[in-house]
Amino acid sequence: MARDNSPKERQKKQLERKLDRRASYDRILIVSEGSKTEPNYFREIRAAYRLHTANVEVRPSELGTAPIQVVQYAQSLFEGGDRHRNIQRRAFEKVYAVFDRDDHESYHDALALAASLDGNLKNDAKQLIRFQAIASVPSFELWLLLHFEDIQAPLHRDEVMRRLKTHIQGYDKGAGNAFAITGAHLAIATHRAEQLARRFSAHTDPEPFTAIVELVKLLTMLRG
Q: Which residues of the chain have pLDDT under 70?
A: 1-24, 223-224
What is the strand order of the sheet 130-137 is part of? 56-60, 28-32, 94-100, 130-137, 209-210
pTM listed for this prediction? 0.88
Q: So what's the pLDDT on residue 2? A: 47
Q: So what's the pLDDT on residue 151? A: 98
Q: So what's the pLDDT on residue 1? A: 43
Q: So what's the pLDDT on residue 120? A: 98
Give exposure, 39-63, as e/b (b: 16+ Cβ within 10 Å): bbbbbbbbeeeebbebbbbbbbbee
Residue ranges of the domains in the chain? Answer: 7-221
Q: So what's the pLDDT on residue 56? A: 96
Q: So what's the pLDDT on residue 20? A: 47
Q: For residues 187 and 195, is the Cβ–Cβ distance under 8 A?
A: no
